[in-house]
């Protein structure tokens, strides 16, 4: 019996999650106005991590510098990223998915695969149960998803990319000639910009053109390994299983799939800074530190690469994780291949303080740790997005000064 796979993909995840929180608090729905997640309006620093449809219509692009986005749209509303919120929303929608599927694979923070094979007696109509899942997420959590249905992971993911938002689409093998083959070859999963250019120069402009070429011809154009993969995908062949794994059993990790490719070092550093802030805050909350930092990147042809580094001392300091992540990223990235996903993982955990390596404390590390704690206290008191770390020690010192002043004033009045 053929498999039955669902792919659930949150529509404009970061912006939708922030909008859902605001709507629940009686505030304006930023999905309806030119809005974006990321960066600092006053300093005009950072990058766009997500955007609303009205912002897209005026040319704002994911991954571009905030200054450029504001030149295109001076009235652009900017909300700071809040990865704690994103993780909560991610867990919430995947928990709903787990109520219906025996196996759920978290593919990234905002998308997952459901293996629905063998559930035909429980759910005789796959489209109907997909609508049930989609509608429950919208009604209970306040944001929308697309659900793609297919015989394999590839076809399910392709289907979820059809018309958006808040839709259910099927792409079974029997539907490939009608629904998939007429699409531009660039729309095929794993076909990036450079591969598209090579294929189009060879006269392969649609997915159908690719599917109906000889495999050997495709391999001569793009290489043996990639050629075989995209030829199989064009014909709807993908044997990869839906995998279920315990979440963060031995470490702390966070990743994000961006709506548009990261193409500059500045963009990547902005994302890594936000990820570092989030994952270290969780570690500090749990009272653990890590000896090992790893960075993962996924190129727009969906190839993953990762690199890790052991530290001399365990850390839960945001700045140290960010600096190490930047170094690892620099060793991983070739400087030009567009990237779709960035992630950080912290492993080799400890709850014990290391033996003192010096008679004198590292004053700079202690200062950074105190400022991290001030950051955590402010966010705990005023909400997860109250502040985000700046990219300099100076900005973090200012945060610490403001927090200490607040606490001193509070103590005087009590």
Neighbours of 294 (CB within 10 A): 19
With vertex at residue 307, the alpha carbon angle to CA 305 and CA 311, rounded to the nearest 5 degrees, is 165
Strands 5-10 and 35-37: unpaired
Provide the token pair at 267: 């963009």
CB 399 within 8 A of CB 378: yes
User: Which residue is catalytic, options 64, 105, 111, 320?
Assistant: 111
Q: Would you tell me the crossing angle of helices 265-286 and 83-98 to the nearest 10 degrees?
A: 80
In 3D, which of 126, 104, 117 has the Cα closest to residue 8?
104
CB 360 within 8 A of CB 244: no
In 3D, which of 116, 123, 83 has the Cα closest to residue 97?
116
**CA torsion angle 185 187 191 193 (round to 10):** 90
Which residues are CB-neighbours of 104 under 8 A, at least 6 positions away? 94, 97, 98, 112, 113, 114, 115, 242, 244
- Collapsing DSSP to helix, strand or coil, 84 comes out as helix
DSSP 109: T
Q: Would you tell me the crossing angle of helices 126-141 and 83-98 to the nearest 10 degrees?
A: 140
CB 292 within 8 A of CB 346: yes
In DSSP terms, 306 is beta-bridged to: 296
Integer Cα distance of 366 and 364 in angstroms: 5
Q: Would you tell me the crossing angle of helices 83-98 and 13-24 to the nearest 10 degrees?
A: 90
Residue 363 annotated among the catalytic residues of the structure: no
Q: What are phi and psi of 258, to 5 degrees?
A: -85, 150
Tokens 């006053």 -> residue: 42
Strands 35-37 and 77-79: parallel
Any idea which residues carry the catalytic annotation?
111
């Amino acid at each position: 019996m053929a498999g039955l796979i669902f792919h659930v993909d949150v529509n404009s995840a970061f912006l939708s999650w922030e909008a859902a929180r605001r709507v629940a608090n009686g505030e304006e729905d930023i999905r309806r106005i030119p809005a974006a997640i990321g960066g600092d309006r006053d300093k005009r620093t950072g990058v766009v991590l997500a955007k609303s449809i009205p912002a897209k219509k005026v040319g704002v692009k994911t991954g571009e510098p905030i200054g450029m986005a504001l030149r295109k749209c001076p009235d652009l509303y900017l909300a700071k990223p809040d990865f704690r919120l994103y993780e909560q929303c991610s867990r919430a929608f995947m928990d709903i998915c787990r109520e219906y599927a025996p196996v759920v694979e978290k593919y990234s923070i905002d998308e997952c695969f459901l293996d629905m094979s063998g559930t035909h007696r429980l759910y005789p109509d796959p489209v109907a149960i997909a609508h049930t899942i989609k509608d429950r997420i919208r009604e209970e959590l306040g944001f929308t998803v697309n659900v793609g249905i297919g015989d394999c992971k590839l076809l399910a993911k392709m289907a979820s990319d059809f018309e958006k938002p808040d839709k259910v689409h099927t792409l079974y093998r029997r539907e490939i000639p009608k629904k998939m083959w007429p699409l531009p070859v660039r729309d095929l999963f794993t076909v990036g910009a450079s591969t598209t250019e090579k294929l189009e120069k060879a006269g392969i402009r649609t997915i159908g053109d690719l599917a109906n070429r000889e495999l050997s011809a495709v391999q001569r154009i793009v290489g043996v390994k990639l050629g075989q993969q995209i030829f199989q995908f064009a014909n709807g062949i993908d044997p990869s299983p839906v995998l279920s794994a315990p979440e963060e059993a031995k470490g702390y990790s966070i990743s994000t799939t961006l709506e548009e490719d990261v193409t500059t070092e500045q963009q990547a550093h902005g994302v890594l800074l936000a990820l570092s802030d989030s994952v270290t805050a969780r570690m500090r909350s749990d009272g653990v530190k890590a000896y090992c930092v790893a960075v993962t990147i996924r190129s727009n042809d969906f190839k993953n690469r990762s690199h890790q580094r052991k530290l001399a001392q365990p850390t839960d300091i945001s700045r140290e994780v960010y600096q190490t992540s930047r170094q690892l990223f620099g060793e991983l990235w070739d400087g030009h291949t567009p990237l779709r996903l960035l992630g950080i993982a912290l492993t080799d955990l400890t709850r014990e303080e290391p033996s003192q390596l010096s008679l004198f404390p590292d004053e700079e590390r202690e200062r950074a740790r105190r400022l991290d704690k001030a950051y955590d206290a402010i966010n705990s008191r005023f909400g997860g997005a109250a502040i985000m770390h700046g990219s300099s020690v100076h900005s973090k010192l200012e945060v610490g000064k403001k927090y200490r002043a607040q606490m001193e004033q509070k103590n005087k009045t009590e």
